Amino acid sequence: MKEKTLSELVYERYSLYYRCVNKMYHKENREITDSNELSRNLKIDSSLIRRDLSLIGKMGKRGMGYSLLSLKSGIEEILGKDKTWNLVIVGLGNLGNAILRYLAHSSSNYNIIKVYEKDPRKINTKVEGHVINDMEHFDTGIRYDIGIIAVPSTEAQGVANILVNHGIKAILNFAPVKLKLPESIFYREVDIFKELDILSGMLTFEMNNH
């Protein structure tokens, strides 16, 4: 039963395929697509799309294309979209607040279970129907799947340690620091200043070379 593990790049594309397929199926009420149409929409080479989709199983029909319905359920299965995932958000500054509101307003298979904060002025208030809990009293009785870290950089590692000690399996980190985590934790980070630096680096290069 040991399948070969897929790279993060592949999962990233599945997420894009899923959105696109859903739109075609639900919003446009269509039945069929093909790798070229997906390629045009997502700007991903069509043979890469075929390769990705073939990893799920023989999804397509030669000469015909792909059934949107079976694509949808195939990708749902591989991304775990047929399950509900428990989220915990730590940190309710600007970014944490935005993330909480953004997630709360979107329907998805991600469920915000608990929200934690350190600032006593915020504790026990409510945001979008979620009580803000005291980080000092971390609730151990709950299975959290994914922890979202939105605290200042200086506190991010401490929060990560607490999450790891309470059995978190994956972390999405918005603080601009590299966290030290056990190998077994799945990890992604979102870093706005890093993104701006990449863009300004490329702009700088272009300016220097006309």
Tokens read off for 97: 């607040």
81 is an interface residue for DNA by CB under 7 A: no
47, 54, 165, 200: residue in contact with a copy of itself (rule CB under 8 A): 200
3-state helix, strand, coil in the chain (%, to 5): 45, 20, 35
106, 120, 137, 141: residue in contact with a copy of itself (rule CB under 8 A): 106
Total residues binding DNA (CB under 7 A): 24
Q: Using only C-alpha atoms, what is the Rg of the chain?
A: 20
* 50 contact choice in DNA, a copy of itself, none (CB below 5 to 8 Å, kind-dependent): DNA
Q: Which is nearer to DNA, 21 or 163 (CB)?
A: 21
Q: Which is nearer to a copy of itself, 136 or 198 (CB)?
A: 198
Residues within window 25-44 making contact with DNA, judged by CB under 7 A: 34-36, 44
DSSP assignment of 59-127 equals -EETTTEEEHHHHHHHHHHHHTTTS-EEEEEE--SHHHHHHHHHHHHS-SSEEEEEEEE--TTTTT-EE
* 106 contact choice in DNA, a copy of itself, none (CB below 5 to 8 Å, kind-dependent): a copy of itself
CA distance 112 to 144: 10
165 is an interface residue for a copy of itself by CB under 8 A: no
Tokens read off for 156: 């991010």
Provide φ and ψ at 93, rounded to 5°.
-75, -155
6 is an interface residue for a copy of itself by CB under 8 A: yes
Total residues binding a copy of itself (CB under 8 A): 65
48, 85, 123, 157: residue in contact with a copy of itself (rule CB under 8 A): 85
Q: Which is nearer to a copy of itself, 64 or 207 (CB)?
A: 207
CA distance 171 to 157: 12
Pick from 102, 156, 155: which is nearest to 130 by CA? 102
204 is an interface residue for a copy of itself by CB under 8 A: yes
Which parts of this chain interact with DNA (CB under 7 A)?
Answer: 7, 9-10, 34-36, 44-48, 50-51, 53-54, 58-66
